[in-house]
Chain A
């Protein structure tokens, strides 16, 4: 076997290892039902959950708990996933600014006991990308 063949084999081996490690590290999008099931099976790998905040008649989100005076690093809220399963979520960081206005929330983390411990929150806000709204644009202008 020539040295160059050995070299090519080594490259293929490393590339395969990279693919395997990526597959192992890759997370999945699940609902809270599956997240609970995973926790029950003792699987503590982190998952992504996409959901919305439950809102009252005034479109204000309900069930947010954040009191910086007692603990600036404790924020709890309820999230309803795409299968309409509601779950209490705890985030050990300050409440993200404009959390209330978000249209969609993506969290990563895993179930711990009765709550979902989130270590990351991604917010999708209504006006984030294309500007579509023209405020104060009336015929009088």
Chain B
């Protein structure tokens, strides 16, 4: 037991909390009642010191928690419940943020990093912005405080001891110093490299939304209503890019790891990040409009505030337990609902009150926008994003309405829509249409002087090409025997226009030698993503339909979704253009490329070790010899499925897996995906014979044989060829003086022959029998007795259920458009940031600042970079 490290950790949490309080108050005092940048030097010194102490304390908390996990200190609940002895180091990092406390800590950490960046790069705004930062830190650290104040528990400490958490466990009454030997392990679904980088990315995105929010609040507070936009803009850009990439990483992880058949399931936890991202991107457009065209400042203020409030609301949704049954992967309810509500309420009320107070003083643009102003279309686009976010928000909040009405004593029974995909898609599709059309149009207009002639000029080519392309797509879809609904035609049209218009913008700007526009690249990426979503989700085709021609006689004779097929081991089944064969179960063996057949491994009492029954060879190299101890990863069983294209004869192999995962309710399937440039073949197991259960064997039937005899075993015929001395057989551990004999029996299966070697051992006049199993055929043979005089051998044969898998396979056309669009979007954000942060941009913007208001009105004529 090591109580010291936990005490240091807990003390650091308390110091971090106290230091955040001091920093918030001192920063407030340093700037309150003074002009921006004119700070009270002594208060500022205290504030900075306090924030440094806060940062150091947070690092110490992280160090202590990581040490607890890394050193397997299972006396702590956090290590016991999230880690285990067998966990590789890289996944110990994932354990760190699997729990609520760790993920709060990650978020707090990013705020500290960003806070230091603000102190370094935004000196003028430091005091008011950091006052907000420290205030937010105060609330966040309180979530992991784990202190009882006046009978109320504040926060949930990650340093709680197992004995303090599981107080009812009898073992602690007998031995309070009991420490478990092993932890319960990291949820095996999270043992994935995406889960190492996805959460930090997402929480960095979350943390980045605080920066523009803090600037906006500081601006309202200090009555510097316009100057905040310039420093806030690059942070918003980074936030939009990081959060967008974070969301897509989560989608990619879900596609690779979960088995709902896609990358997006409209789960409340996914929605909770999607909603603020949409509003964040809308607010980015508001900021750019003000920075470049001196319009839309009120919109920018409102949306920046809304983004942060939505992040807080998302935190409340996913961490308070209010979602209950509605989500499969929200966090455990730690009883923090009250604290979370206070956090949400405090910042919402503060921000809205400040905004209302200053609203009339926020400058607005004098000019009325016309259809020839790109600003109008950017503004409409931002509105469309907000409406799209509103739909998801309104529906995702349904469980909240029930809880709220419950508090008022009214019982309601509202549930989420039964078909969520249809519900969300019908509106999100139109949001996509408008986003693609408006982004194309606004990008073209942004860079030129607009009137009827120039507009017709620059729009003709992309429009004509779009119409042509759409016609071609419709024809191709029809040619392939598929239907296309009017809504899909419109989305194709909009997506193609978005691609072509943004492409022509990029091309024109490059030709004119101005620069590569990050905005146009990002918008091009978004348009490609929309096309990718349309193709891969709209035309996802289930390959594994029942094609046997057999209609099972049941209560229903209508055409039902029969999306799963049963594959017997080693029997080939035809399936829409492919022939599928299930050829056995495999394990992942660290150090050996690919997977290793279970039949070569002899399991031992230690789940993580096995003995090799045959040499394990991969690519000509022998990794283990017979009898060697092999380290295996037993959680996942891989089912080898061979695909053969019936037309081309091409073959490939997929290994969908089933995972023993007690935490998620038993056995979980993860897909295997074969990627082609134009489509993905996606396969997952729907049902298998449970690998955790002992196989039920039939009662043994005895056969008395002589060498050379033939018998039938479970419909296969077998020849008893010889009896020979047993070699050093895996797991037998032969000693001097032992007598060991093995029978050599050849069983003729459908595809190949199997050697079966039941062993008969005599040790100290005790008889031992080691049966041998042919897993492929479901047969087990043991050598029961030997009559050396008559030359007769008695075998016992039992049989079991033949192995099978039930699987579902899908074809996802053009899904690569989605991933490549995501990369382009990220690239676009990066380019915009570089252009904004680079030296050229600084000079250009300095020149802009110097411009007089009279000149500003002619600014629309000149090319300007847009986010």
User: A-side interface residues toward B, CB under 8 Å?
Assistant: 2-3, 7, 11, 14-15, 18-19, 21-22, 25-30, 45-48, 50, 68-74, 90, 92-95, 97-98, 101-102, 106, 108-109, 112-113, 115, 119-120, 122-125, 127-132, 134, 137-139, 141
- B665 near A101 (CB under 8 angstroms)? yes
- State how many angstroms separate the Cβ of A139 from the closest Cβ of chain B: 4
> Complex Cα distance A75/B771, Å?
36
Nearest to B562 among chain A residues (CB) is A73
- For the complex, is B103 an interface residue (Cβ under 8 Å from A)? no
Nearest to A130 among chain B residues (CB) is B332
* B-side contacts of A124, CB under 8 Å: 325
- B690 near A21 (CB under 8 angstroms)? no
* A-side contacts of B178, CB under 8 Å: 137, 139, 141
- State how many angstroms separate the Cβ of A61 from the closest Cβ of chain B: 14
Known: A71-B554, A128-B665. 9 other contacts (CB 8 A): A7-B383, A18-B390, A29-B415, A73-B563, A92-B561, A122-B328, A123-B665, A129-B332, A137-B178
- A125 near B665 (CB under 8 angstroms)? yes
Q: Name the one of B387, B563, B665 contacting A18, with C-beta atoms under 8 angstroms.
A: B387
- State how many angstroms separate the Cβ of B739 from the closest Cβ of chain A: 38
Q: A3-B368, A11-B387, A47-B418 are in contact. Are A73 and B395 (CB under 8 A)?
A: no
- B665 near A138 (CB under 8 angstroms)? no
- State how many angstroms separate the Cβ of A112 from the closest Cβ of chain B: 8
> Complex Cα distance A72/B805, Å?
10
> Complex Cα distance A119/B560, Å?
11
* A-side contacts of B537, CB under 8 Å: none
- State how many angstroms separate the Cβ of B668 from the closest Cβ of chain A: 7
- State how many angstroms separate the Cβ of B212 from the closest Cβ of chain A: 23
- A106 near B560 (CB under 8 angstroms)? no
Show 29 A/B contacts (Cβ-Cβ < 8 Å), sorted by A.
Answer: A18-B394, A26-B417, A27-B414, A29-B415, A47-B418, A69-B566, A70-B552, A71-B554, A72-B566, A73-B564, A92-B561, A93-B564, A94-B687, A97-B658, A97-B688, A97-B690, A98-B666, A98-B667, A101-B666, A122-B325, A125-B665, A131-B80, A131-B81, A132-B166, A137-B169, A139-B170, A139-B171, A139-B174, A139-B178
- For the complex, is B180 an interface residue (Cβ under 8 Å from A)? yes
Nearest to B423 among chain A residues (CB) is A25
> Complex Cα distance A23/B372, Å?
38
* B-side contacts of A141, CB under 8 Å: 171, 178, 180-181
Most chain B beta carbons < 10 A, residue from A2, A94, A139? A94
Interface string of B178-216 (1 = CB under 8 A from A): 101100100000000000000000000000000000000
Nearest to B397 among chain A residues (CB) is A22
- A22 near B565 (CB under 8 angstroms)? no
> Complex Cα distance A3/B564, Å?
55
* B-side contacts of A70, CB under 8 Å: 552
- B169 near A97 (CB under 8 angstroms)? no
- B552 near A71 (CB under 8 angstroms)? yes
Q: For chain B residues 644-677, which have a beta carbon within 8 Å of chain A? A: 658, 662-669
Q: A27-B418, A29-B415 are in contact. Are A93 and B665 (CB under 8 A)?
A: no
* B-side contacts of A71, CB under 8 Å: 552, 554
Nearest to A100 among chain B residues (CB) is B666
> Complex Cα distance A140/B184, Å?
19
* A-side contacts of B416, CB under 8 Å: 26-27
- State how many angstroms separate the Cβ of A118 from the closest Cβ of chain B: 10
> Complex Cα distance A48/B427, Å?
23
> Complex Cα distance A141/B179, Å?
8
- For the complex, is B413 an interface residue (Cβ under 8 Å from A)? yes
- B665 near A22 (CB under 8 angstroms)? no
Nearest to A2 among chain B residues (CB) is B368
- A48 near B564 (CB under 8 angstroms)? no
Q: A92-B561, A137-B178, A141-B171 are in contact. Are A72 and B686 (CB under 8 A)?
A: yes
Q: A18-B391, A25-B423 are in contact. Are A72 and B806 (CB under 8 A)?
A: yes
Nearest to B402 among chain A residues (CB) is A29
* B-side contacts of A45, CB under 8 Å: 418
> Complex Cα distance A73/B565, Å?
8
* A-side contacts of B565, CB under 8 Å: 72
- A134 near B169 (CB under 8 angstroms)? yes
Nearest to B183 among chain A residues (CB) is A131
- For the complex, is B787 an interface residue (Cβ under 8 Å from A)? no
Interface string of B545-586 (1 = CB under 8 A from A): 010000010111000111111100000000000000000000
- For the complex, is B804 an interface residue (Cβ under 8 Å from A)? yes
> Complex Cα distance A69/B665, Å?
25
> Complex Cα distance A74/B184, Å?
35
> Complex Cα distance A92/B561, Å?
7
Nearest to A106 among chain B residues (CB) is B325
- State how many angstroms separate the Cβ of A137 from the closest Cβ of chain B: 5
Q: For chain B residues 422-467, which have a beta carbon within 8 Å of chain A? A: 422-423, 426-427
- For the complex, is B175 an interface residue (Cβ under 8 Å from A)? yes
Q: A28-B414, A48-B415, A134-B171 are in contact. Are A98 and B566 (CB under 8 A)?
A: no
Q: Name the one of B415, B666, B668, B686 contacting A94, with C-beta atoms under 8 angstroms.
A: B686
Q: Name the one of A46, A68, A128 contacting B806, with C-beta atoms under 8 angstroms.
A: A68
> Complex Cα distance A74/B555, Å?
10
Nearest to B81 among chain A residues (CB) is A131
Closest CB pairs A-B (n = 9): A98-B666, A46-B418, A125-B665, A97-B667, A94-B687, A94-B686, A71-B552, A25-B417, A139-B174
- A134 near B552 (CB under 8 angstroms)? no
> Complex Cα distance A122/B265, Å?
14
* B-side contacts of A50, CB under 8 Å: 325
Interface string of B318-331 (1 = CB under 8 A from A): 00000001001000
> Complex Cα distance A30/B664, Å?
26
- B687 near A95 (CB under 8 angstroms)? yes
> Complex Cα distance A18/B427, Å?
8
* B-side contacts of A129, CB under 8 Å: 332-333
* A-side contacts of B180, CB under 8 Å: 134, 137, 141
> Complex Cα distance A102/B566, Å?
25
- B555 near A98 (CB under 8 angstroms)? no
* A-side contacts of B662, CB under 8 Å: 127
- B560 near A92 (CB under 8 angstroms)? yes
> Complex Cα distance A119/B561, Å?
10
- State how many angstroms separate the Cβ of B561 from the closest Cβ of chain A: 6
- A68 near B546 (CB under 8 angstroms)? no
> Complex Cα distance A74/B562, Å?
9
- State how many angstroms separate the Cβ of A109 from the closest Cβ of chain B: 8
- State how many angstroms separate the Cβ of B367 from the closest Cβ of chain A: 12
- A131 near B184 (CB under 8 angstroms)? yes
Nearest to A10 among chain B residues (CB) is B383
Q: Name the one of A30, A74, A95, A123 contacting B413, with C-beta atoms under 8 angstroms.
A: A30
Q: For chain B residues 90-120, which have a beta carbon within 8 Å of chain A? A: none
Q: A48-B415, A73-B564, A134-B180 are in contact. Are A93 and B391 (CB under 8 A)?
A: no
- A22 near B395 (CB under 8 angstroms)? yes
- State how many angstroms separate the Cβ of A59 from the closest Cβ of chain B: 16
Q: Name the one of B171, B413, B686 contacting A137, with C-beta atoms under 8 angstroms.
A: B171
- A72 near B687 (CB under 8 angstroms)? yes
Q: A22-B394, A101-B665, A131-B184 are in contact. Are A120 and B418 (CB under 8 A)?
A: yes
* B-side contacts of A131, CB under 8 Å: 80-81, 184, 663
Nearest to A71 among chain B residues (CB) is B552
> Complex Cα distance A97/B80, Å?
26
> Complex Cα distance A45/B417, Å?
10
Q: Name the one of A14, A30, A68, A90 contacting B687, with C-beta atoms under 8 angstroms.
A: A68
- B166 near A28 (CB under 8 angstroms)? no
- B332 near A93 (CB under 8 angstroms)? no
- A94 near B564 (CB under 8 angstroms)? yes
Most chain A beta carbons < 10 A, residue from B546, B563, B663, B686? B686
* B-side contacts of A22, CB under 8 Å: 391, 394-395, 398, 417, 423
Q: For chain B residues 396-424, which have a beta carbon within 8 Å of chain A? A: 398, 413-419, 422-423
Nearest to A3 among chain B residues (CB) is B368
Nearest to B401 among chain A residues (CB) is A26
* B-side contacts of A130, CB under 8 Å: 332
* A-side contacts of B546, CB under 8 Å: 73
- B665 near A102 (CB under 8 angstroms)? yes
